[in-house]
Amino acid sequence: MTPNGLGEFGRIGRFFAPLAGPGGLGLTDDAALIGCEPGRKLVVTVDAMVAGVHFLPDDPPDLVARKLLRTNLSDLAAMGAHPLHYLLASALPASLDDAWVERFAAGLAEDQRIFGVALLGGDSVSTPGPATLALTAIGDVAEGAEIRRSGAQPGDAVWVSGTIGDAGLGLAVLKGDYADLAKTHRAALTRRFQLPEPRTALGPSLAGLAHAMLDVSDGLVADLGHICEASGVSATVRAPDLPLSPAAKAAGADPAQAAVAGDDYELLFTAPPHAEAAIRRAASEAGVAVTAIGAVAAGEGARLLDARGQPIPLERPGYRHF
C-alpha cells in the first residue's frame, strides 16, 4: 500500500463520511440537503487557506483543520449566527499522505464535537502546488437579528472581546522570534495563532445590543475601518484600553503593534452606551471578556489614539493578500 493507498474515494469513505451530518447524505450524493427553520435565515460564509501563506507547511494537520473551521465559525459569530454545517474543498499535494489526511479529519471531528456542527459535503482534488483548503460554513439566525457591519452610529462605544495581538505574536514565535520568552507564554501565543477561539456563544447573544460587528482578522484598526466605511462613520480606539494578554505584555507588545496584528478572530463591535450592562451580562454568560476600547463619531476612518488623545501613526494598517 502506497502512502496514498486509500485514494480519493477511500479517503472520503474512511475519514470524511463519519463526519457527515444527516444533510450530508453520507457524502455519497452530488450535493447536500438542508432545511431552514421557520422565522430564521441561513448565514453562509467561505474562507480559504494556503500552506505557506495562512499556515506553516509543518503545522500539525489537526490544528490546520481546526483553524480553518474556526475562522469560518468566527465569521458566522460575527453576524450573530449559530453554526450548523460546513463543506470542505481541499486541493492536496501528493506529499501529504493518508496519515496527514487522517489527522486533518480528526481535528475536524474534535471541533465538530465542541461546536456542534457537521460536515455536509466537499470536494477532494490533487494539486502540484501547496495544500489549499476552502471551507464553506452555514449557520442560522433569527430573521432580522443578524448583526452587520453597516449599523454603527455616532455615539456608540467600540468593544472588543478577549485580547488583541496574540495571534501575530504567536506567528512570530513559530518563526523563531521571542526565544527568550517564558515557555508558557510562547505556548499561549502560538496557540492563539494556531487555534483561534471563535466567539460562537457571545456573537449570537449580542443580537439587539450591538449595532455593527465583525471579527478581527485583518488587524483591529483596519477592521474597525471596515465598519466605519460600511456605516459611514468614524471611530477612535484608545490605545491604553486595548486588552493585551499577559503573554503579549511579557513579550513587550505595545498597543500600536497589537492594533495592526491580524488573525485574532475576536469580535469587534459597536453598541449604544445604554447597552453596556446587557453586553457585560452576555459576555459573562458566554465566558468571554469584553472591553470598551473606543468611540464612534461622525466622519470617516478609524484611528488609534494615545493616552493624551493624539493619533498614533500605524506602520501597516492591516494584512493584504496582494
> Which positions from 173 through 232 interact with its own copies, judged by CB under 8 A?
214-215, 226, 229-230
* Phi then psi dihedrals of residue 26, to 5 deg: 70, 10
In the bound complex, what is the minimum distance in angstroms from residue 19's beta carbon to its own copies? 15
DSSP structure class, residue 168 = H
In the bound complex, what is the minimum distance in angstroms from residue 10's beta carbon to its own copies? 10
User: Is 127 an interacting residue with respect to its own copies (CB under 8 A)?
Assistant: yes
Site for its own copies in 143-162 (CB under 8 A): 146, 148-150
The one segment of 58-66, 105-113, 120-128, 249-257 that binds its own copies by CB under 8 A: 120-128
Whole-angstrom CA distances from 48 to 14, 45, 82, 256 are: 24, 10, 21, 28
User: Is 114 an interacting residue with respect to its own copies (CB under 8 A)?
Assistant: no
Residues 201 and 288: beta-carbon distance below 8 Å: yes
List, in sequence order, every residue forming a beta bridge with 297; answer none if it has no partner: 234
User: Is 287 an interacting residue with respect to its own copies (CB under 8 A)?
Assistant: no
Count how many residues are written for the chain: 322
Whole-angstrom CA distances from 183 to 55, 59, 149, 173, 263 are: 21, 18, 38, 10, 22
User: Is 95 an interacting residue with respect to its own copies (CB under 8 A)?
Assistant: no
The one segment of 111-119, 135-143, 237-245, 298-306 that binds its own copies by CB under 8 A: 135-143
Q: 3-class DSSP state for residue 293?
A: strand
* Phi then psi dihedrals of residue 87, to 5 deg: -125, 150
Instruction: Give the residue, chosen from 52, 252, 273, 311, that forms a contact with its own copies under the rule CB under 8 A.
Output: 52
User: Is 301 an interacting residue with respect to its own copies (CB under 8 A)?
Assistant: no
Cell numbers given for 305: 489614539
Site for its own copies in 15-34 (CB under 8 A): 25, 28-34
User: Is 90 an interacting residue with respect to its own copies (CB under 8 A)?
Assistant: yes
Which has the closest alpha carbon to 263: 106, 57, 134, 70? Answer: 70
In the bound complex, what is the minimum distance in angstroms from residue 8's beta carbon to its own copies? 5
**Considering beta carbons, is residue 126 or 184 the nearer one to its own copies?**
126
In the bound complex, what is the minimum distance in angstroms from residue 90's beta carbon to its own copies? 7
| Residue the block writes with cell 505557506 | 52
What residues contact 298, with CB distance under 8 A and at least 6 apart?
A: 154, 233, 234
Instruction: Give the residue, chosen from 20, 63, 117, 134, that forms a contact with its own copies under the rule CB under 8 A.
Output: 134
Q: 3-class DSSP state for residue 44?
A: strand
**Considering beta carbons, is residue 36 or 298 the nearer one to its own copies?**
36
The one segment of 140-148, 152-160, 248-256, 305-313 that binds its own copies by CB under 8 A: 140-148
